[in-house]
Amino acid sequence: MSDLKALLARLVDGDVEFVLIGAYASVVYGVTLVTHDVDICCPFTSRNLLKLRNAISDLRPVHRLTPKRLPLQLTREQCRGLQNLYLETDLGVLDCLSNVLGLGDYAAVKRQSVITSLDFGECRVLGLDALIKAKAAMDRPRDREAVVQLEAIRSRQRRSSGHN
């Protein structure tokens, strides 16, 4: 059973540096699509990856895209050279990316994010315009549907704030 909110709360409580991206970020803005995972963009420094490991270590994280579904075991040395982590935990799927298609690396993603208050605390969420750009770059059917809804949300926000 997935509890993506609890998974995100773990990252926030563990002081992991990240920006929420992907479908869950879309849901934060009001998109009605269902998501079964958490996608984040984060700096792939040893310090941050070890914080991530510590935040989820008791959730039995495994590398979900490896044939043997190996447990997540990170040391400073193992952190070097990593660019993405695709994990499954007891609370759900967590995909950690160092770059976002259409936007760039973590620094670029962070510049295009906003701090948002969620039920479990504050975290950085990809800004609406950047999220639309990233979803459009992915160009998968579910991303195209998200873009339609996100553009409608942006249009409503602009109308309500007096911008055209």
The structural domains of the chain, ordered by start, are 4-160 (3.30.460.40)
Q: How far apart are CA 96 and CA 94, in angstroms?
A: 6
Q: Residue 144 has which token pair? A: 């195209």
pTM score above 0.75: yes
pLDDT string in tens for the chain (164-residue length): 479 999 999 999 999 999 999 999 999 999 998 888 999 999 999 999 999 999 999 999 999 998 888 889 888 888 888 899 999 999 999 999 999 999 999 999 999 999 999 988 999 999 999 999 999 999 899 999 999 999 999 999 989 987 66
94 DSSP β-pair partners: 38, 87
Kindly give the residue spans of alpha helices, DSSP state H, lying in 44-140.
46-56, 76-79, 106-111, 128-138
